Amino acid sequence: MSERVHTVVPAPRREAILSMLKRGERVDGRRADEYREVRVETGVVGNAEGSARVSIGHTKVIAGVKASPGSPFPDAPDKGIQIVYAELIPMASPIFEPGPPDENDVELARVVDRGLRSSSTVKLEELALVPGKHVWRIYIDIYPIDHDGNLIDASGLAAVAALLTSKIPKVSVSSNGSLVMEEERVPLPIGDAPVFVTIAKIGDTLVVDPCYEEELVMDARITFAIDREGNVCAIQKGGRGSFSADEVVKALDLALALAPELRSKLPPFPQ
Amino acid sequence: MPIRVSNGQVVVPGELVAEGRCEVLGPHFSSGRRHYAKVLSVAVVEKPRRVRLIPLKRSYVPVEGDVVIGKVVDIGPTSWVIDINSPYMALLQVSEVFPRPTTLQRDLSKILKVGDVVIAKVLSFDFAHDPLLTIKESKLGKVSKGLLVEIPPSRVSRIIGRKGQVVNYLRDVLGVELVVGRNGRVLVVGEDSEREAVAAYVIKRLCEEAYVPDPLAAAKQLVEEALSSRGDVSGRG
Amino acid sequence: MGGAEGVKLLDEEGRRLDGRALNELRKCRIEAGVLKNANGSAYIELGRNKILVAVYGPREVHPRHEALPDRMLLRCKYSMLPFSVPDRKNPAPSRREVELSKVIREALEPAIFLEEYPRTTVDVYIEVIEADGSTRVASITAASVALADAGIPMRDLVAGVSVGKIEGKLAIDINGIEDQYGEGDMPIAMMPRLGEITLIQADGRFTRDEVVQALQMAREAIAKLYEEQKRALKEKYSRILEEVEGGEVVR
């Protein structure tokens, strides 16, 4: 119930947002296809293999990468394991409640996971230590710390930035088959990297990078993960509304147009 | 041809029923000049430009003034919670039970207990608040005898029939009294328990079918069948 | 990935492993009203997929604080039975099932007049009895039939299909093997009459033009599924009507 205090938009405000959009104006003065200011900082957590803090406007997300040797999955004995976890902690918004992850946490983690997997961001096939026995497990943990909308894009950016700057110990295998961690650290093997672009539909208008207030009044959203070559490597629609086929394509074109700018905020690929 | 369905056709939600100037009765919605079915229904073309949609399934939504048959499921400090076979639980307040103000009884279960059945009238309902019931009028109150038959609420009008024909027919031919709750519950009360059972059986059977064009004729046929094989009645349902 | 794994998904004539053409749906059969206790229900067989859907409601919301003052609450639970897949699935809800329950609900909501029964809930229970690829979209196709069967007010049905990418080509309605060894999966659900997209997801890699083409292929397949949905609902109730109108009341 207390959540409703924060999620119910006053009717006059809703009307104002909708009529402004008809004139091509947004609540924070942006154009429909204008992204908020994006900042990416990496190496923010010394104990993590890689980490990043990302802000999109007032939205802030922190992501960390941890790696540890473990057993492979039986159906992929020669591949490392990637585990993405996201938690919408109460710190980030009055609408998040303490407790076990719900569908929103799970959706966020899984969308980011799909984008990373589809573009082979982490080359899992290069992360076997002793094939069939020991592989690297790469944990990517995502924590929004201030929620002003568009957590998917911010989380995706933070996860990718953290992975691009991750360094894991070099491992050798001793004669008796046990693993030896060396002092030297090497970058994670990286394939491609996606950027996530979310478009919200409010009334008949498509806007990129919705802020929180826009998310409250939107009908639906659609997210595209775009790889380096401009391929789509994940899509996710959310929300109670629908899109026409034309709107999906229009949203995709907006995403493709914005992807290079977002990509330019990422740290360079490891050599 | 403004009407896009044939008589007796089953229509699914979102299916085009009529276009342009025509009268569409029953649950539908319109977009411009086009009229669509809103729930799974049977279309009955009543006139060249009038089509009625009869829902095949529908939950009972209380309407002020409806007579309903309810079951006591819980007891609060000053009211009973009554299940009226609806998404909305009804309340029967103490003040709607006694004709005059009485000294408040501590134990409401001495008046109506969980499991008791009441014939009641809907006093008010507006979606924002649970429906309120009254039993303060004549013919309302606690039910002490008879058979309770549950039917889909969308079939209630069939049991009543045009101008009460079906109810009157069953009353006359079987010598039973019927109370038809709008919420899909029918109370059958008669002297002869076997005839009560026949009435209950006929009502059940009438409601099994999605749509009956002539309920009275169907009722007559079912009664005749049932009476001609008396003693075998219960084995046929 | 297909080549790397060494599994050939298309033969020389461009036919798929089960003999289908790229734009060909598997055999699909839907039945409406298959359960006694549920207010509405449906069963779908799509190829080897077997899925049951039950709809309860509109009914009182428990816990009560979840009730919405201005509309009906739609709740949806998608689960795979432990024996539905080759290796037994742990019956506890997986993260995949949690996500799919959400996106399936959001695929159905646009079609429902949620404002008709405020403060109530409609619960949709989806049980995958046997799985062979594309279960989320088959679940949506069946769930909208079950919702209609329950008498829920709707502006349209919803039907879904997946568009996969196998050996570089787009293929409709991919099965389990094609999902496992193919290069991508794009499940799409639409309101067939309105052509509005209520679910779209993707993994794998698709170019912009492939996305455009996939939307078109999905629309055509969904039109066919819509016919089967209507047939299932109409047949269930028309049969009864004919029997009555024939003057005979048949059990």
Give the pair of three-digit tokens for residue A72. 């492979």
Mean pLDDT of the B78-103 span: 87
* Contact criterion met (CB below 8 Å) for A215 and A149: yes
Quick check: B38 and C113 CB within 8 A? yes
The answer to whether position B36 is within a domain reads yes
The answer to whether position B105 is within a domain reads yes
Contacts of B39 in chain C (CB under 8 A): 148, 151-154
Domain boundary among B109, B142, B175: B142
Count helices and strands (H / E) in chain C. 5, 9
Whole-number Cα distances in Å, A56 to A51, A148, A234: 17, 8, 21
Classify residue A183 by burial, with Cβ atoms within 10 Å: 0-12, 13-18, 19+: exposed
The answer to whether position C236 is within a domain reads yes
Better pLDDT: C240 or A50? A50
Cβ count within 10 A of residue A154: 31
pLDDT of residue A203: 93
Mean pLDDT of the A216-232 span: 97
- Within 8 A by CB and 6+ apart from A258, the residues are A33, A35, A197, A208
Quick check: C120 and B57 CB within 8 A? no
- Within 8 A by CB and 6+ apart from B129, the residues are none
The answer to whether position C250 is within a domain reads no
pLDDT of residue C240: 60
For C2-42, the pLDDT digits (tens) are 444 568 999 999 999 999 999 999 999 999 999 999 999 99
For A48-84, the pLDDT digits (tens) are 999 999 999 999 999 999 999 999 999 999 999 999 9
The answer to whether position C10 is within a domain reads yes
pLDDT tops 90 at residue A8? no
Q: Is residue B231 very low, low, confident or very high in pLDDT (cuts 50, 70, 90)?
A: low
Q: Min CA distance, C180 vs chain A (Å)?
A: 12
H/E segment holding residue A5: helix A2-7
The answer to whether position B202 is within a domain reads yes
H/E segment holding residue A186: strand A179-187
The count of domains in chain B is: 3
CB-based contact (8 Å) between A245 and chain C? yes
Give the pair of three-digit tokens for residue A9. 């938009």
pLDDT tops 80 at residue B85? yes
> How large a percentage of chain C has pLDDT more than 90?
90
Mean pLDDT of the B130-153 span: 92
Amino acid at C221: A
For B9-50, the pLDDT digits (tens) are 999 999 999 999 999 999 999 999 999 999 999 999 999 999
Lowest mean pLDDT among A36-50, A193-207, B38-52, B161-175: B161-175
The answer to whether position C35 is within a domain reads yes
Task: Report the CATH number that the domain containing residue B95 is assigned in CATH.
Answer: 2.40.50.140
Shared domain check, B78 and B46: no
> How large a percentage of chain C has pLDDT more than 70?
92
Contacts of C201 in chain A (CB under 8 A): 234-237
Shared domain check, B231 and B151: yes
Contacts of B13 in chain C (CB under 8 A): 111, 148, 152-157
For A165-200, the pLDDT digits (tens) are 999 999 998 888 889 999 999 999 999 999 999 999
The count of domains in chain C is: 1
- C-alpha angle with apex C158: C157 to C162, nearest 5 degrees? 155
Shared domain check, B151 and B134: no
Query: What structural domains and CATH numbers belong to chain A?
Result: 14-263 (3.30.230.70)
Lowest mean pLDDT among B45-59, B203-217, C162-176: B203-217
The answer to whether position B90 is within a domain reads yes
Shared domain check, B200 and B166: yes
pLDDT tops 70 at residue C250? no
Lowest mean pLDDT among A16-30, C151-165, C183-197: A16-30
Contacts of A220 in chain C (CB under 8 A): 106, 110
User: Could you give the CA distance from residue B125 to residue B90 in angstroms, rounded to a whole number?
Assistant: 9
| φ and ψ at residue A192, rounded to 5 degrees | -120, -175
Quick check: C198 and A227 CB within 8 A? no
User: Could you give the CA distance from residue A201 to residue A217 in angstroms, rounded to a whole number?
Assistant: 9
Determine the structural domain holding residue B209 and report its residue range: 147-236
Quick check: B12 and C59 CB within 8 A? no
Determine the structural domain holding residue C188 and report its residue range: 2-245
The answer to whether position B28 is within a domain reads yes
Give the C-side interface with B, CB within 8 Å.
39-40, 57-60, 69, 111, 113, 117-120, 148-157, 191, 193-194, 229-230, 233-234, 237-238, 240-241, 243-245, 249
pLDDT of residue A246: 98
Of C95, C197, C208, the CB nearest to A256: C208
| φ and ψ at residue A260, rounded to 5 degrees | -60, -40
Shared domain check, B211 and B153: yes
The answer to whether position C251 is within a domain reads no
Shared domain check, B71 and B39: no
Q: Is residue B210 very low, low, confident or very high in pLDDT (cuts 50, 70, 90)?
A: low
The answer to whether position B62 is within a domain reads no
pLDDT tops 50 at residue B237? no
Lowest mean pLDDT among A3-12, B157-166, B184-193: B157-166
The answer to whether position B4 is within a domain reads no
Shared domain check, B137 and B151: no
Nearest CA in chain B to C116: B127
Task: Report the CATH number that the domain containing residue C125 is assigned in CATH.
Answer: 3.30.230.70
The answer to whether position C168 is within a domain reads yes
Shared domain check, B81 and B35: no
For A81-135, the pLDDT digits (tens) are 999 999 999 999 999 999 999 999 999 999 999 999 999 999 999 999 999 999 9
Shared domain check, B155 and B135: no
Q: Is residue B102 very low, low, confident or very high in pLDDT (cuts 50, 70, 90)?
A: low
Chains A and C touch (3+ CB pairs under 8 A): yes
E-strand stretches of chain C = 28-32, 40-46, 49-60, 73-80, 120-130, 159-166, 169-172, 184-191, 196-206
CB-based contact (8 Å) between A237 and chain C? yes
Quick check: A235 and C202 CB within 8 A? yes
